[in-house]
């Protein structure tokens, strides 16, 4: 159980809703941040808002990643610099607060692209004789999960398990969820549930 009083010096807040305002996932991340900062008033917060989109990985991205830094052309340097900036934010963070609105039973495309940008052998994971090993250990993550018709953990929820798996693949195994799920069947109750789950994290 996460204790808000644990020292968290650097916090990365990742927003991924496509809504410019009024997203319930942002409402939950606001509530999480209020509690984290109340217990850690000197913490540094970096916000990465993915709503404008994230560059998708492609062949050019692979070329940039596998080209030695001193041999990259200008386009490859720009591609690598963008990926490095995203990675540096995660590496510096003690706590990640991630908004996960569910779209079509899965993660938002921009959140998937963010994860793809981070998935770099030798940086966030390595393969060993005994299997993959995550390199971003010692971090925590809280995920604000919201959905219209999907219950978290149900057979049609392809979002929460994916995010938990990828964070664990990177070495972040202390992952907790607060969910305002299945809002289509009662938004007020679902939001109240999500907010109570945020509050329960501090119990």
Cβ distance 90 to 96 under 8 Å?
yes
CA dist 39 to 10, 43, 141, 199, Å? 13, 9, 16, 13
Q: How far apart are CA 59 and CA 168, in angstroms?
A: 26
Write the DSSP string, 45-61. Answer: EEEEE-TT--PPP-HHH
Cβ distance 14 to 97 under 8 Å?
yes
Q: If 0-12 CB within 10 Å is exposed, 13-18 middle and 19+ buried, where does residue 96 land? A: buried
Which residue ranges are tagged as binding site for FMN?
17
Which residue ranges are tagged as binding site?
17
């Amino acid at each position: 159980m996460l204790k808000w009083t644990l020292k968290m010096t650097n916090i990365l807040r990742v927003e991924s809703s496509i809504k410019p305002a009024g997203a319930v996932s942002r409402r939950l991340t606001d509530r999480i941040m209020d509690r984290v900062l109340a217990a850690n008033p000197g913490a540094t917060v970096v916000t990465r808002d993915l709503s404008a989109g994230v560059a998708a990985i492609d062949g050019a991205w692979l070329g940039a990643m596998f080209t030695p830094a001193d041999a990259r052309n200008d386009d490859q340097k720009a591609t690598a610099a963008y990926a490095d900036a995203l990675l540096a934010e995660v590496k510096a963070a003690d706590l990640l607060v991630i908004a996960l609105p569910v779209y079509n039973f899965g993660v938002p495309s921009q959140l998937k692209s963010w994860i793809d940008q981070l998935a770099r052998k030798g940086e966030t994971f390595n393969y060993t004789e005994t299997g993959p090993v995550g390199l971003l250990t010692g971090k925590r993550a809280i995920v604000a999960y919201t959905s219209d018709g999907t219950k978290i953990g149900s057979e049609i929820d392809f979002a929460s398990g994916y995010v938990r798996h990828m964070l664990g693949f990177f070495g972040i195994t202390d992952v907790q969820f607060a969910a305002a799920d299945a809002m289509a069947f009662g938004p007020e109750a679902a939001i109240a549930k999500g907010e109570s789950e945020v509050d329960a994290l501090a119990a």
